[in-house]
Structure 1
């Protein structure tokens, strides 16, 4: 796998992580780098610190697969810097067509993962159903009123980063459910360094713990774990379904109301409850385009 290929995968992951409801872990899965990413994150442990302590910087770099992480992080950063404003503008002005495009992406991703489960057994089918039910429950959950303060910020960082590396579950969407989306965005905009530092520590702790658990599950129980993650993806289709009705709202850092709890509706009902054109034909075309794009990415890079 070339550095350019890893960089492009990072660009795709960054583009996915920008949007609440879409996970960069999904892109890592369909482009064939998920196991390597988990292994690289997992390598940040006591052996790595021991190598640094002894001044063996090159060995420490190789131990964590530094070249891979550097290319990936550069790709993610490039994507966020270049696409964040475009995605935000599309979400503000054309949310329904954009969600339709992401629906096609997620559906194709789920089918790609489904093919990797292998021969089906009752246990694997049960794992698929469990993942589906968990994702559906998360998608339909109301906002949780967390206790404000730095402990809540730490918990938000810990939980959201765990969700971010799971295919089909968005870390930013988890922040919305925890009622911390607005406060964290406000901390970023106002440079509240104490809040950001605690959030980063929580995220780092969660990443170190959860990546080890996922790595262990994928190597000891690969097919059941793949079935579970595939269920997450299928369940997350509710999150990216284009036509939704809001049941609850959350105030953003700019004082604007954002939907916090939504339920999917049919295009005809969306026209009634939202009073807006469901744009059915363009949305169906964008679903097909997103589906085809993922299939092409998987054929190009999925086994690279």
Structure 2
């Protein structure tokens, strides 16, 4: 799940569905509440231990801890590789992302019926929102700590969004490159500190990582529940919005590749277009193969036949 969520296009939820833990994950996440967190934190008191144990069982704590450790390990590893790719071969990397996103949208569109005015309206709104925001968000929002908190809150909602990865939402918000670079720098600073390095870089990058995690916790109680409410009240229209959101997000990798080319003093040449297209084909094939291999698409949080 961590490897899938570290790159845009493939949802970690899809992997959870394939491995049969999706429903357990959703139940565990939505069972987390301020009251249960308080019960766990006060479990150090002798007369509160029973309540703490009950709260831990209610949120399936052992499952979440083990799963979280695996996700965190994969994210730290994959984002480092992605960050190196963005810095060294941006056109190929963003072309690969484009293919992942495009194929994911194609697979999910085959499972969503956009056949009513409400669904058409929702699809148009999702496309326009993603297309406009993904082209301007990076320059408009910046990279301040408040923005990082908001990005974390929105990204964590991807755990219950059908077919949408947290990294795709970060790309739409223009925060993906910043967060992958910051996470890599934070790990480097942590390793350097262990070997006697300075603590200043750890504080600088650690503040951003903590802000993102804080946003993720806030998102568990706000954005994630709001999305679940929308799926319960207007499931078909919400799914149409989400799938169209993925399509609109296709602007982001093209725009980011163009930005990196401009920073290098280059433009879109036939060679650059060919490299971008070839990488996109590879990314698309991976998604199609995943869909064919599993025989399912992640729609509605249920297993759907192709």
Q: Same fold (TM over 0.5)?
A: yes
**Alpha-carbon distance change, 131 to 182 in structure 1, aligned in 2, over 3 angstroms:** same
Helix, strand or coil at the partner of 1:170: helix
Instruction: Indicate which of 286, 290, 301 corresponds to 1:293.
Output: 286
Question: Hey, which of these two has a bigger chunk of helix by percent?
Answer: 2
Helix, strand or coil at the partner of 2:140: coil
Matches within 5 A, 1:130-149: 130-141=125-136, 143-144=139-140
* Moved beyond 6 Å, runs of 4+: 179-187
Which residue pairs with 2:245 in the alignment? 232
Gaps of 5+ in 1: 1-8, 17-21, 250-256, 259-267
Shift of 1:125: 1.1
Gaps of 5+ in 2: 159-163, 190-200, 297-302
Shift of 1:106: 0.6
When the two structures are aligned, how many residues end up with a matched partner? 263
Instruction: Supply the RMSD in Å over aligned alpha carbons.
Output: 4.0
**Alpha-carbon distance change, 202 to 89 in structure 1, aligned in 2, over 3 angstroms:** closer
Instruction: Indicate which of 71, 80, 85 corresponds to 2:80.
Output: 85
Matches within 5 A, 1:1-304: 9-13=1-5, 15-16=6-7, 22=8, 26-29=11-14, 32=17, 37-46=25-34, 48-49=36-37, 52=40, 54=48, 55-56=50-51, 59-118=54-113, 120-141=115-136, 143-144=139-140, 153-163=145-155, 165-166=157-158, 167=164, 169-171=168-170, 174=173, 176=175, 188=186, 190-192=201-203, 197-241=210-254, 244-246=257-259, 270-271=268-269, 277-278=271-272, 280=274, 282-301=275-294, 302=296, 303=303
Helix, strand or coil at the partner of 2:258: strand
TM-score with structure 2 length normalisation?
A: 0.68
Shift of 1:183: 11
